Amino acid sequence: MTSAADFYAHVQQELQSIEAAGLMKRERVMTTPQGALVKTQDGRELINLCANNYLGLSSHPQVVQAAHQALDSHGFGLSSVRFICGTQDIHKQLERRIAAFVGCEDAILYAAAFDANGGLFEPLLGEQDAIISDALNHASIIDGIRLCKAQRYRYANNDLADLERCLKEARDKGARHVLVFTDGVFSMDGTIARLAEIRELCDRHGALLGIDECHASGFLGRTGRGTPEHCGVWGKIDLITGTFGKALGGASGGFTAARKEVVELLRQRSRPYLFSNTLAPSIVGASLAVLDLLECSTMLRDKLEDNTRFWRAGLTAAGFDIKPGSHPIVPVMVYDAVKAQQLSARLLELGVYAVGFFYPVVPQGQARIRTQLSAALDREHLKKALAAFSQAGHELGLIKG
């Protein structure tokens, strides 16, 4: 038998091994709202290139005002799950509005997209069914699938041939319902899923298609309605999960959108919905204001697209190796983990906040700085940030000339 002291010693050892592997995550403390510029506790002002604040709505005056108004009209909290006494008129409005925005019949709110994914699969599918999941899907999708008894298949990232192999295998083994699930956008690479082709494959094999739109809702596609709009299959996706914690205001909250009978079954059976508190009224009110803003103008997503083009062209001209594409996630490839950390540290000294990612978050030898654009950023911010990248890149021998 071991003692409690042994347990605490074990925890200390785990922490030491994380530290020794250079994998300890340390949180930088900011003292300002989220925005183009943020201040850290030591009083330094940084150009922010690492928030999911794609549309600059995290501190947008109309969004903040809507949160204040909902606080006054609907209170601070509801102290209840939805089915007891946690549903207000604004929760029902937000469900209708987000469903219409992403192109589905109905939607159900969750405390976070992590919960939407965590509570999605188990109520809908059983042992006789199969889930086919992209190898690079988000952790919350992986966890959600683990909680479900369906047979599991994994296909290589965005690889249609491998997906078809899985579809055939699932059918050969007699699976009843087959669900293919993918991120609309993969967060480490900014890669956009090949949804039109995936939809076509699913149709051919009688499979359902579900997507996670956390890095797409609000800005991808001509009117910001996400990956399906970008790929020309808007309104043709069976299940869509997403977050209010990124582009759509950045506070918190998630949703699943689908046909109304699917949403109804989730309301009856989805555990993170049934056993967790309702969304705070201020977040619901602010999220409604976000949808008002996005439905009446594409100005913010257009500015984001413009910023992304400028930033990708600037980094490429400076000689950096970036992951190609069009998404505002722009990974600057460094490959070596130590170099990536050095680049991030030097950028901080030069007033630019951009974080390095390395193993195990990305594959071994694929270390990078992940930059993320925002409509909050102006040309001047981007020019200064490009100058800082060039200087640091030269100093570290990452670029020549």
Phi, psi (5° rounding) for residue 284?
Answer: -65, -45
* Residue 128 C-beta: closest distance to ligand PLP, Å: 27
Name residues contacting ligand PLP, limited to 248-267 (CB under 6 A): 254
Is residue 187 part of the annotated active site? The answer reads: yes
The answer for residues whose C-beta is within 8 angstroms of residue 34's C-beta and 6 or more apart is 48, 51, 53, 58, 59, 250
Contact string 17-56 vs ligand PLP (x = CB under 6 A): ----------------------------------------
214 touching ligand PLP, by CB under 6 A: yes
114 touching ligand PLP, by CB under 6 A: yes
Q: Which of 91, 138, 215, 381 is catalytic?
A: 215
Residue 219 vs 320, nearer CB to ligand PLP: 219
212 touching ligand PLP, by CB under 6 A: yes
Q: How many residues bind ligand PLP (CB under 6 A)?
A: 14
Residue 118 vs 285, nearer CB to ligand PLP: 118
- Say how far apart CA 361 and CA 305 lie, in whole Å: 26
* Residue 328 C-beta: closest distance to ligand PLP, Å: 13
138 touching ligand PLP, by CB under 6 A: yes
* Residue 103 C-beta: closest distance to ligand PLP, Å: 18
Which of these segments, 14-22, 142-150, 211-219, 318-326, binds ligand PLP (CB under 6 A)?
211-219
Residues 112, 300, 304, 337: which binds ligand PLP (CB under 6 A)? 112
Residues 58, 133, 158, 187: which binds ligand PLP (CB under 6 A)? 187
* Residue 89 C-beta: closest distance to ligand PLP, Å: 23
134 touching ligand PLP, by CB under 6 A: no
Which of these segments, 5-13, 207-215, 355-363, 383-391, binds ligand PLP (CB under 6 A)?
207-215
Q: What is the CA radius of gyration of the chain?
A: 22
Is residue 58 part of the annotated active site? The answer reads: no
Residues 106, 183, 229, 305: which binds ligand PLP (CB under 6 A)? 183
Is residue 323 part of the annotated active site? The answer reads: no
The answer for residues whose C-beta is within 8 angstroms of residue 193's C-beta and 6 or more apart is 134, 158, 182, 183, 184, 185, 186, 211, 227, 231
Name residues contacting ligand PLP, limited to 300-329 (CB under 6 A): none
Residue 256 vs 366, nearer CB to ligand PLP: 256
Residues 53, 88, 133, 140: which binds ligand PLP (CB under 6 A)? 140
Residue 215 vs 381, nearer CB to ligand PLP: 215
User: b/e map of 72-83 (b: 16 or more CB within 10 Å)?
Assistant: eebeeebeeebe
Residue 56 vs 184, nearer CB to ligand PLP: 184
- Say how far apart CA 133 and CA 139 lie, in whole Å: 12
Catalytic (active-site) positions: 187, 215, 246
Could you list the residues that contact ligand PLP (CB under 6 A)? 112-114, 117, 138, 140, 183, 187, 212, 214-215, 243, 245, 254
